[in-house]
Amino acid sequence: MKKFRRIALSLVLAVALMASFVVPVAADNPTVSITVTAEVIAITNTQDTWGIGTVTTDAVVYFSTDGTQNDTYSQVENTGTVAVDVQIQGMDLAGTPTWTLASTTSADQYTLFANSEATPTVYDVEVKSSAYGDLTTNLAKADTYDWSMKFTAPSSFGGTEDGTEKSGTVTLVASKYVA
């Protein structure tokens, strides 16, 4: 019996040794190449300040190189990876007293309207403080959009007007274009 165990153990060891010297055959392993781009929503704007200066009641001033209605002055660029919609929103102008951004001018109320590159002399996008307005839609990646604004001063200044400078901002926001 011991002899049989020795032979069986010798055979197992021989098979194990032979198996360790067997070279496996290389299989054809297919691969899949993966490429991916992150979705990025981003815009830039070329003009970030507008020093209007001193105005009289009902004064109209354009966001342009010379303050007149002659061109689109600023340019939004889609620097992201997908087409975007660009919206615009304004705000009341802080000062003494505050000038309220409104649809029409009146005492201490001013208006802002934006134009489009398609019709640069038509200011048809109302800039509101309560909601965003559509400046442009479906702006392709790496594409640009030329635009400007028209400011109209209040029709009258409140009795507490002390001639202090007013200030505020206009915000441009991009969101992914959805067809």
pLDDT above 60 (res 13): no
- The CA distance from 71 to 25, in Å, is 73
pLDDT bracket for residue 5 (50, 70, 90): low
pLDDT (tens digit per residue) in 23-82:
667 789 999 999 998 999 999 999 999 999 999 999 999 998 777 776 678 999 999 999
Encoding tokens for residue 74? 């600023």
Are the CB atoms for 157 and 125 separated by under 8 Å?
no
Question: Between residues 179 and 6, which one has the greater pLDDT?
Answer: 179
pLDDT above 50 (res 9): no
Please report the pLDDT score of residue 89 as a whole number. Answer: 98
pLDDT (tens digit per residue) in 90-120:
999 998 899 999 999 999 999 999 987 777 7
Question: Between residues 145 and 15, which one has the greater pLDDT?
Answer: 145
pLDDT bracket for residue 2 (50, 70, 90): low
Mean pLDDT is lowest, of 72-86, 113-127, 140-154, for 113-127
Indicate the residue type of 126.
Answer: E
pLDDT above 50 (res 84): yes
pLDDT bracket for residue 7 (50, 70, 90): low
Mean pLDDT is lowest, of 6-20, 49-63, 127-141, for 6-20
Are the CB atoms for 109 and 100 separated by under 8 Å?
yes
- The CA distance from 169 to 163, in Å, is 19
pLDDT bracket for residue 11 (50, 70, 90): very low
pLDDT above 90 (res 83): yes
pLDDT, average across residues 121-135? 93
Write down the H helix ranges in 22-147. Answer: none
What are the sequence ranges of the domains in the chain? Answer: 54-176
